[in-house]
Amino acid sequence: MVFPRRSVLLLCSLMTAYPALAAPAGDLPLMPWPQKVERPAGQGELVLNNAVTIAVGGDDMGDAVERWRERIARQTGWVLKPQPAQPDAPTINIVIKQKVAAVPQADSDERYQLSVTSDGVTLTANTRFGAMRGMETLLQLIQNGPRHTAIPLVSIEDVPRFPWRGLLLDSARHFMPLPDILRQLDGMAAAKLNVFHWHLTDDQGWRFASARYPKLQQHASDGQFYTAEQMREVVRYAAARGIRVVPEIDLPGHASAIAVAYPELMSAPGPYEMERRWGVLKPVLDPTKEATWTFIDALVGELVAIFPDGYLHIGGDEVDDSQWKANPAIQNVIKAKGLADSHALQAWFNQRVEKILEKHQRRMVGWDEIFHPDLPKSILIQSWQGQDALGNIASQGYKGILSTGFYLDQPQSTAYHYRNEVLPQGLHDVDVIAADDSAQSWAFTLPRLKGSPVEGSFTLINHPQHGWRGFIDFNGKSRRALHDIQWLSDTQLTFRVDTWMGDTQAVFTLNDRQLSGYTLLGNARYPTTGSKLDAVPAGRAPVVPSVAQSSNIIGGEAALWAENVVAPVLDIKLWPRAFAVAERLWSAQDVNDVSNMYQRLEAIDSWSTVSVGLRQHTQQVEQFTRLGGSRGVLPLQILAQAIEPAQYYTRQHLKFQAGNYHQFEPLNRFADALPAESEEVRQINGWVSALIADPESSESAGALRHVFSRWQHNVPDVLALTSENYQLAALKPVVQDVETLAGLGIRLVDVVARQGTLNPDERAVIQKQLDSAALTRDEVVIAAVAPLQRLLNATIEE
């Protein structure tokens, strides 16, 4: 496996002692970063050849040894020599202290110790599952260097921070074929994720073949469903990689597919048709009918026979109660049982479901909406509503896991997901206004493309010695600290805050008592207005559980909802970003340096395509070949360097506005073939920072000129493609703007490099061009606008 050159250079420099490198992470190509890493003084490595052998003692690992050898062969390009059944002096010796069941459990021991010396590799683990985690670390360490293939000498002690480290895949909205599911399990194992949350049912499809209720797959799946044997295969495949499988069937809402097959179970009479639209829909089960409970009990019985894990997910989110309210029989039950409202009815419903699960020896998992004090503490709550909801859950003694901030179906920067701390955090007195502070507060309104506007206020605080700090109060949510507050002029400022919408950056002009400007949600601009307030708002403090209560938070899950995802682009949407989420769930809390993360992620991205077989790069080439033919791949790849898909839910909301927010909207645009963020634009931002800090840096200026020239020269080829394929036609103005921006980039680099300035007229013209190019078109954004804006700002005299 050949790592990027700069990673290899970093790897060649060994440490001068045996320091622990838990925080910050070091320069080895490891992700997640282990809890403790020690390197010997001086240069040292274990050289490998094609006679490498692996021995396992203490447990029967099945075909794991052969799989690991196959991966070594892929990483090195070797044909490995056959190894004896029991090698006398194995290159890699795996010692397992305790033999356990092959199916992982919620409390499986995953710790391991790894020692690489000049004599060989010793991997010691308490159980087979620790050995699996340690082998992924070892495979990441195998490097093809300038002279040979080797493993750096190292000593590692490792254990996960959280026991629940999951990935949700949504097979309901768009069906995911079995080979694609199995490949993601390989990726999960490589990232040390250990819970596959399989979303099998929703309004738009029922994917679980039921023997008791066959109309579900016959009438509500379009013929796309998993047989019982296929689901058992997934369980076996996952278990062999130390991964639990937790199935989800949605109850009582998200039930349109059930309504198509069995309308008699619903709270309003049918007939129903297959639902193709995305969103929160009305069909909901009728909890007053005994047939409903027979149905649920039978389905749970079928699931238990296939999925051995101790947890079963019931969904429970986004229940539209309009059918309940309109049903006299249901309203009579609410009155007879003294239930306060529909939420109380759902809690009563969940109590009965929980009893069914208990009968089948399963624990309930559900989304935030199932949280209710009438349910036992044995349930597990998955939070999509954020750290405040999770903090409240933990404070009341319930177990919880976090998914907010880990939604990978939203195109977001990897840094945003990486900064998303699982345990709720306090404000550290950022909102305490002292006597020598001066404060100003501003109300704002941010209209969205779908749904109600986002409203709230932010407060800026200036201290004579310590400078600016601040906080923001979104209506209905707890207070958050502001970061990176900068005044671009006397009236214009920018600041950043991570929100449920993603990496959120304000670019506001505060003129007299009026606020104007825009908010960047990820990379998409949303015009924002507001006005100055006369006083600082009271706000709401974050919900932060005690240290003891925080132990109720047992991990988190990345989620990939499939409204905008189909199998041909599945890997593009997941990898390599999921490795960063996995690190947040495995590694120490203080392993959080974003720059270091990106350095290692670059190496892991390459490694995962070769060693693991993930297809994020292959899928993009396939999509670009479809759009532009074989000769169009390179031009589209170069264009993609400047462009990102519109982030946050901008793409979904644009589809909604156009009447295309449904299952048959083709996901065949240029945007669908793009990763969530442009690695090239991130590098450009680094070169821009270096050039601004040192205008005489010829290396940074040269790198910028080179990439901008490449974009310019690429434009004629891409423009030709936009005329040859109607699916690219809408990109034509975007391509033309990339050409304009490349020219502006060269001009601005020249000005900054000679420490010059622009006259106001030219600056105004360039600013207008940047603002125009920043618009979302054909669901993409020219991400290169951001670093060019920084170059333009650097040409303004202080």
- Residues marked active site are found at 202, 254, 318
Find tokens 């779908």 and name the residue. 450
Q: Are 11 and 27 in contact (CB under 8 A)?
A: yes
- Distance of alpha carbon 782 from alpha carbon 193, whole angstroms: 33
Answer left, alpha or beta for residue 223, where phi above 0 means left and psi between -120 and 50 means alpha. Answer: left
Find tokens 């929100």 and name the residue. 499
Q: What phi and psi, each to the nearest 5 degrees, are found at residue 658?
A: -85, 0
How many other C-beta atoms lie within 10 A of the C-beta of residue 234?
Answer: 21
Q: DSSP letter at 375? A: S
Residue 464 token pair: 């004579």
CA 489, 492, 495, 499: dihedral to nearest 10 degrees? -170
How many other C-beta atoms lie within 10 A of the C-beta of residue 228?
Answer: 14
Name which of 677, 505, 672 is nearest 601 in CA terms. 677
β-strands 514-521, 195-199: how paired?
unpaired
Find tokens 């890699």 and name the residue. 92
- Distance of alpha carbon 418 from alpha carbon 412, whole angstroms: 11
Alpha helices of 83-219 — where are they, by DSSP H?
Answer: 128-141, 178-190, 215-219
Peptide bond into 271 cis (omega under 30): yes
Exposed (0-12), middle (13-18) or buried (19+): which is 289, by Cβ within 10 Å? middle
Peptide bond into 716 cis (omega under 30): no
Q: What phi and psi, each to the nearest 5 degrees, are found at residue 571?
A: -65, -35
Q: What phi and psi, each to the nearest 5 degrees, are found at residue 226?
A: -100, 130
- Distance of alpha carbon 677 from alpha carbon 557, whole angstroms: 21
- Strand extents, DSSP E, 51-190: 54-57, 92-96, 112-117, 120-125, 143-144, 149-152, 154-158, 164-170
- Distance of alpha carbon 584 from alpha carbon 391, whole angstroms: 18
Q: Are 646 and 776 in contact (CB under 8 A)?
A: yes
- Distance of alpha carbon 428 from alpha carbon 423, whole angstroms: 15
Answer left, alpha or beta for residue 648, where phi above 0 means left and psi between -120 and 50 means alpha. Answer: left
How many other C-beta atoms lie within 10 A of the C-beta of residue 25?
Answer: 24
Find tokens 């995305």 and name the residue. 278
Name which of 230, 198, 235, 249 is nearest 104 in CA terms. 235
> One-letter amino acid identity for 277?
R
- Distance of alpha carbon 492 from alpha carbon 506, whole angstroms: 10
Peptide bond into 24 cis (omega under 30): yes
Please, which residues have CB within 8 angstroms of residue 586's CB and are 6 or more apart in sequence? 32, 160, 161, 162, 165, 192
Find tokens 């349109």 and name the residue. 256
Residue 797, SS3 per DSSP: coil
Residue 39, SS3 per DSSP: coil
Q: Are 372 and 315 in contact (CB under 8 A)?
A: no
Residue 652 token pair: 């979904």
- Distance of alpha carbon 718 from alpha carbon 721, whole angstroms: 5
Name which of 420, 424, 401, 426 is nearest 584 in CA terms. 420
